[in-house]
Amino acid sequence: MNSKKSYLPLTAKYLSNEMAPAARIWFYLKNQINPKTRRELNILKVFFNSMKLNEKNKDIEFDTSKAWQKLQERIKNVSYTGQSRTVLIPNLNYFAVAATVLVMVALSLSVWFYYNPKTITLANMTQSSTMIRTLPDGTQIFLGENTILDYPVRFVGKTRTVKLNGEAYFDVAKSKSKPFIIKTSHAEIKVVGTSFNLKTSNNEVHLKVTEGIVKITLATTQKSALVQAGEAAIASKNDIVTYTQPTGQTIKSAMKFLMFQDETLDNIVRVINSTYDSNIKVLGNDLKDMRISVTFDNDISSIVNILSVSFNLKVTRSPDGTIIISK
C-alpha cells in the first residue's frame, strides 16, 4: 500500500468527524480534485461506516481508533468490487503540490521578466534642447532634436544593446566583458568604452569618434571598419567610408539647453561634472536619489543657481572650487 504516514490519521479524523469544520472541508475538496483519490476516499468511507454499524449493532461502545486499525487490515485483503485488490491511497499532498507549482510559476515568471526587461523609449521632439539620459550601466547619452532612443531598464546577457533613430552623442561606460552595441537601420556600432557622435538618416549613418575605438558593421553585407579617435565614417547600404575627422561640432559640444526628464540628482550632477569638468558634490543619499525634471542653460553658474533656487537646496563653494549641494 503506497501512502504517506500523515494520510491515514487524517483520513481517520475525517471519517470519524473529528476534524475542525474548515479542515474537514479542505480535506474533502482536495481529495475531490482527482477522480482516483475521490474514488478511493469513497471506498474507505464505505468500509469505515460498515464497521461502525456492525459495532453499534452489538451494543458495544464504538472505538474510532480500533475501527480504523481494523479498517487498515481489511483494506489489504477485502474485496470491494468482487476481486481481490489493494486500495492505493494517494501519497500526494495536493495543497503542498499546488503551493509548489505556484512558487515554481512565480520563480519562472521572475526569471523571464529579469532576462526580458522592459524597453524604455526616450524621444526628444524639441527644436533647441539636448535631452540627456544616464543608462543603467552609467553610460551618458545626449539626444539631439527629433531623436528616439530605445533601451532596456537593465542590461542582461553578454551585451548592452540599444536602438537609435536620429542623432546622439554617446559617452559609454567601460566594460570589456560586456560590449555596448547600438543598432540603427543601416549599421551596428560596437564599442567597449568610448565617446562618439552618431547620426542616422534614411540612407546613411554618420560616425565621429572623439575617444577610443568604434567598430561599425553594415546590416546588409556585414562589412565592418574600425574607426579611431579623431576619425569619422559614413556607412551607406553597401559601403563604409572612413576619413580624418575635421574639427567639428557634436551634439554635446553644440548643445544650448540641457534637458533632464525624471532623472536622479546624482546622475544629473555626474553629467554636469563630466561635461564642464566641475567638481559638484551632493550630500545625503536621499538627496542623491531625488528625481527631478529640469532644463538648464549651457552654463555652469546658471545650472548651480537653478538647482539651489528651484529645489530649495543649499550651495556651498569651497576655496578649491568644489561646490557642495545639500538640504
Answer yes or no: is 122 within a domain: no
Same domain, yes or no, for 195 and 290? no
Q: Are 55 and 65 in contact (CB under 8 A)?
A: no
Domain assignment present for 314: yes
3-class secondary-structure state, position 24: helix
- Does 146 score more than 60 pLDDT? yes
Given pLDDT bands bounded at 50, 70 and 90, which one contains residue 80? very low
Q: What is the dihedral of CA 225, 227, 228, 234, to 10 degrees?
A: 160
Where do runs of H (alpha helix) occur along the chain? 7-15, 21-32, 35-57, 64-77, 94-115, 251-254, 265-276, 285-288, 300-310
- The angle subtended at Cα 11 by Cα 8 and Cα 12, nearest 5°, is 85
User: What is the CATH classification number for the domain harbouring 197?
Assistant: 2.60.120.1440
Say if residue 243 is in the same domain as residue 304: no
Choose the final residue of a domain: 251, 281, 296.
251
Domain-located, residue 1:
no
- Is residue 229 helix, strand or coil? coil
116 domain residue, yes or no: no
Q: Say if residue 155 is in the same domain as residue 239.
A: yes
The answer to whether the pTM exceeds 0.85 is no
How does the average pLDDT of the chain come out, rounded? 81
CB of 19 closer than 8 Å to CB of 13: yes
Weakest-pLDDT range from 2-16, 19-33, 97-111 = 2-16
CA 133 to chain centre: 19
Q: How many domains does the chain have?
A: 3
Asked whether residue 263 falls in the same domain as residue 243, the answer is: no
* 67, part of any domain: yes
| Range with the poorest average pLDDT among 57-66, 148-157, 243-252 | 57-66
CATH number at residue 311: 3.55.50.30
Domain housing 208: 134-251
Is residue 170 assigned to a domain? yes
What percent of the chain shows pLDDT beyond 90?
A: 50
**C-alpha–C-alpha distance, residues 55 and 45, integer Å:** 15
Are both 204 and 298 inside the same structural domain?
Answer: no
Residues shown for the chain = 327
* pLDDT tens digits, one per residue of 263-306: 999 999 999 999 999 999 999 899 999 999 999 998 898 899 99
pLDDT at 224: 94
CA distance 52 to 276: 92
**Model confidence band, residue 89 (pLDDT cutoffs 50, 70, 90):** very low
Report the pLDDT value the prediction gives residue 79, as an integer from 0 to 100: 42
Residues 230 and 316 in one domain: no
In a domain, 129, yes or no: no
Residue 273 and residue 233 share a domain:
no
Together in a domain, 31 and 81: yes
Could you say which of 202, 222, 251 is where a domain stops? 251
Last residue of a domain, one of 251, 267, 282: 251
pLDDT at residue 64, as a whole number: 55
Q: Assign 114 a pLDDT band (cuts: 50, 70, 90).
A: confident
- pLDDT tens digits along 212-257: 999 999 988 999 999 999 999 999 988 999 999 766 789 998 899 9
289 and 220 in a common domain: no
